[in-house]
């Protein structure tokens, strides 16, 4: 009996070492280590690589169009003016997407400049896509490739200081985003995440069937349970900055009954350690790194 137990254990360890252990590998902004962030090419690359989930961010234009972008302005780090001239760090926040029409937003090139943190990134001239266009492109890519349906982790970029400056009020913003997503994706294949507790509280109250993820960048010296108390409900997913995650954090999460998916992990050893203490997923700029360790969702 002990002999057969050893054989079974050996087989399990072998599967783990050859990348067969399944974990939710999420492509951060698609795969920004490889291609321009939050672009359709980056999303398709991540799907083809074998991610189970695409992570992305959304903002809104002056004509109420939901656009995929991390900042609600044209970042000087990754964008160029329509005439190809660089944007200075002093002027990028004034290039407010909430004050531009979709046509104006899409006249900027946000893919030709290689992100300085990702020197191996492949530059492509791209504009910020509509959320609806990105979802349609990804769904068609999956269907044509006979791949498993993927999931989407969509961040609503809101902040109290940004109300009516960089985005509408959270009710208007949230409802527009949900309307776009629901027109393309069933509710069991997406979640909405935010750092803004107001956004999470609003959606929890008005759309209780939507899965929510609470983004945490700073614990403020509080235990996880206190942050959840401040939120007012236990979200299905907690998504913390990865250095915050240790065994104590995981023990609290287990007691709360919530999943933990940290961001943004770009080191194999850190990935392995986080998985060893029980995280449910990894958000990474390099999807292939996680897939090499834990296996492809498409296998």
Query: What does the block give as tokens for 90?
Result: 């002093």
From the CB of residue 91, how many other CB atoms can be counted at a distance below 10 Å? Answer: 12
pTM confidence score: 0.93
Return the pLDDT at 113: 97
Residue 188 has pLDDT above 50, yes or no: yes
Residue span of the structural domain in which 222 resides: 23-73+126-294
Phi/psi of residue 249, nearest 5 degrees: -60, -45
Query: What does the block give as tokens for 83?
Result: 């005439």
The answer to whether residue 209 sits within a structural domain is: yes
The answer to whether residue 204 sits within a structural domain is: yes
| Pairwise CA distance, residues 115 & 105, whole Å | 19
Number of H helices, E strands in the chain: 10, 9
The 10s digit of each residue's pLDDT in 221-278 is: 999 999 999 999 999 999 999 999 999 999 999 999 999 999 999 999 999 999 999 9
Question: What CATH number did the domain enclosing 182 receive?
Answer: 3.20.20.190
Q: Are 42 and 32 in contact (CB under 8 A)?
A: yes
The answer to whether residue 279 sits within a structural domain is: yes
Query: What does the block give as tokens for 21?
Result: 């252990």
Residue 1 has pLDDT above 60, yes or no: no
The H or E element spanning position 134 is helix 131-144
| Pairwise CA distance, residues 191 & 259, whole Å | 13
State the pLDDT confidence band at 18, using cuts at 50, 70 and 90: very low
Mean pLDDT, range 9-20, rounded to an integer: 39
pLDDT above 70 as % of the chain: 93
The answer to whether residue 135 sits within a structural domain is: yes
| Pairwise CA distance, residues 248 & 251, whole Å | 5
The answer to whether residue 12 sits within a structural domain is: no
- How high does pLDDT run on average in the chain? 93
The H or E element spanning position 141 is helix 131-144
- The three-state secondary structure class of 170 is helix
The answer to whether residue 158 sits within a structural domain is: yes
Residue 5 has pLDDT above 50, yes or no: no
| Pairwise CA distance, residues 84 & 86, whole Å | 7
The answer to whether residue 106 sits within a structural domain is: no
Q: Are 29 and 128 in contact (CB under 8 A)?
A: no
Establish how many alpha carbons lie within 13 A of residue 38's alpha carbon, considering only the half-sphere containing its beta carbon: 25
Name the residue among 52, 53, 31 with its Cα closest to residue 43.
31
Q: b/e for 180-197, b at 16 or more Cβ within 10 A? A: bbeebbeeeebbbbbbbb
Residue 159 has pLDDT above 70, yes or no: yes
Q: Number of structural domains, the chain?
A: 1
State the pLDDT confidence band at 21, using cuts at 50, 70 and 90: low
From the CB of residue 10, how many other CB atoms can be counted at a distance below 10 Å? Answer: 10
Return the pLDDT at 146: 97
The answer to whether residue 9 sits within a structural domain is: no
The 10s digit of each residue's pLDDT in 82-116 is: 999 999 999 999 999 999 999 999 999 999 999 99
Q: How far is CA 72 from the centre of its chain?
A: 16
Give the chain's end-to-end CA distance (angstroms, integer). 32
Give 274's contacts (C-beta < 8 A, 6+ positions apart). Answer: 242, 245, 262, 265, 282
Sign, Cα dihedral of 212, 218, 224, 230: negative
């Amino acid at each position: 009996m002990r002999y057969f137990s050893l054989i079974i254990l050996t087989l399990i360890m072998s599967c783990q070492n050859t990348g067969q252990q399944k974990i939710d590998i999420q492509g951060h902004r698609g795969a920004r280590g490889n291609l321009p962030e939050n672009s359709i090419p980056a999303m398709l690359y991540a799907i083809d690589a074998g991610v189970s989930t695409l992570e992305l961010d959304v903002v809104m234009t002056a004509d109420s169009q939901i656009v995929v972008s991390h900042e609600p302005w044209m970042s000087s780090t990754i964008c160029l003016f329509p005439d190809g001239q660089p944007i200075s760090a002093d002027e990028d926040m004034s290039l407010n997407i909430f004050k531009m029409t979709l046509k104006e937003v899409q006249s900027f090139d946000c893919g030709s400049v290689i992100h300085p943190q990702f020197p191996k990134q492949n530059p492509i001239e791209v504009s910020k896509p509509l959320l609806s266009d990105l979802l349609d492109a990804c769904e068609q890519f999956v269907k044509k490739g006979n791949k498993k349906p993927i999931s989407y982790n969509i961040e609503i970029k809101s902040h109290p200081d940004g109300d009516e400056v960089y985005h509408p009020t959270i009710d208007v913003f949230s409802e527009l985003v949900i309307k776009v997503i629901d027109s393309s994706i069933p509710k069991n294949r997406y979640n909405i995440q935010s750092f803004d507790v107001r956004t999470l509280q609003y959606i929890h109250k008005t759309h209780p069937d939507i899965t929510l993820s609470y983004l945490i960048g700073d614990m403020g010296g509080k235990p996880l349970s206190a942050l959840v108390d401040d939120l007012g409900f236990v979200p299905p997913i907690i998504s913390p900055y990865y250095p915050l995650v240790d065994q104590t954090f995981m023990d609290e999460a287990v007691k709360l009954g919530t999943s933990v998916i940290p961001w943004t992990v770009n080191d194999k050893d850190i990935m392995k350690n986080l998985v060893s203490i029980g995280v449910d997923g990894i958000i990474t700029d390099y999807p292939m790194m996680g897939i090499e360790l834990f296996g492809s969702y498409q296998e």
